[in-house]
Amino acid sequence: ANYVLLKSSLKKFANEEYYSGLPINKREGEINPYSHQGDLSSMRFMHTSDRKEIIRLLKKCFPNITFRLSGFFIYGPGDYLSEHTNADDPGNTMYITYATGESSFSYRFHPSEEFVKTEDAIDDITLRTFSLKSEGPFTHHKVDCETGYRVSIGMRYVQIK
């Protein structure tokens, strides 16, 4: 039941109307694969008032996990976040995404490797978990939203009860 509530909540943010009402967050720079936050990006941040609803639902969906949230992102057609490591915010990480079109999360463990591309489920929730380290080897990762809209919620989970 909580999964259905979370899915319907994320779905209501994954559309042109909501996306268009948010200010764009765009960074342009030279790509450094060791960047903490990504040197190139085009995305939007969810309204602070809407985050509270998501937090309440996540606490219901994951009652045995103590977590803090690290991101509330909305991507539209053509949006992206370039390769980065989040080495400034290490820990066990979970990304929860809801996508209405083709979007992906790609990762690799060294800049000399090819990216492993993982597709988001369309019109459903995708969960990804991995560890982020402050020192190598890093989990280099990036996001691409080719079509549709993608809601991404980042969590660092601190403790599992």
Q: Tokens for 67? A: 């977590």
**3-class DSSP state of 150:** strand
47 in Cβ contact with 53 (< 8 Å):
no
Q: For residue 153, list its beta bridge partners.
A: 72, 96
153 in Cβ contact with 72 (< 8 Å):
yes
Q: How far apart are CA 5 and CA 158, in angstroms?
A: 24
Digit-by-digit pLDDT tens for the chain (161 residues) are 789 999 999 999 999 999 999 999 999 988 888 888 889 999 999 999 999 999 999 999 999 999 999 999 999 999 999 999 999 999 999 999 999 999 999 999 999 999 999 999 999 999 999 999 999 899 999 999 999 999 999 999 887 77
Residue 47 makes CB contacts below 8 A (sequence gap 6+) with 22
Q: Tokens for 106? A: 């790609």
